[in-house]
Amino acid sequence: MPYVILGTAILAEVLGTTSMKYSEGFSKLWPSLGSAAGYLIAFALLAQALKTMPVGTVYAIWAGIGTAAVAAIGMVFLGEAATAAKMIGLLLVIAGVIVLNLGGAH
Rg (CA), the chain: 15
Does position 31 have pLDDT exceeding 50, yes or no? yes
As a whole number of Å, the end-to-end CA separation of the chain is 20
List pLDDT tens digits, range 59-104: 989 999 999 999 999 999 999 999 999 999 999 998 988 888 887 6
Distances (CA, A) of 50 to 6, 12, 19, 103: 9, 16, 25, 18
Number of domains composing the chain: 1
Nearest Cα residue to 68 out of 84, 40, 88, 53: 88
Dihedral class, residue 54 (left if φ above 0, else alpha if ψ from -120 to 50, else beta): beta
> The domain containing residue 79 runs over which residues?
2-104
pLDDT for the residue numbered 98: 86
pLDDT tens per residue, range 33-57: 999 999 999 999 999 999 999 998 8
Could you report the per-residue pLDDT of 10-25, keeping only the tens digit for each? 999 999 999 999 999 9
The dihedral formed by the CA atoms of 88, 92, 98 and 99, expressed in degrees to the nearest 10: 140
Q: What confidence tier does 106 reach under pLDDT thresholds 50, 70, 90?
A: very low
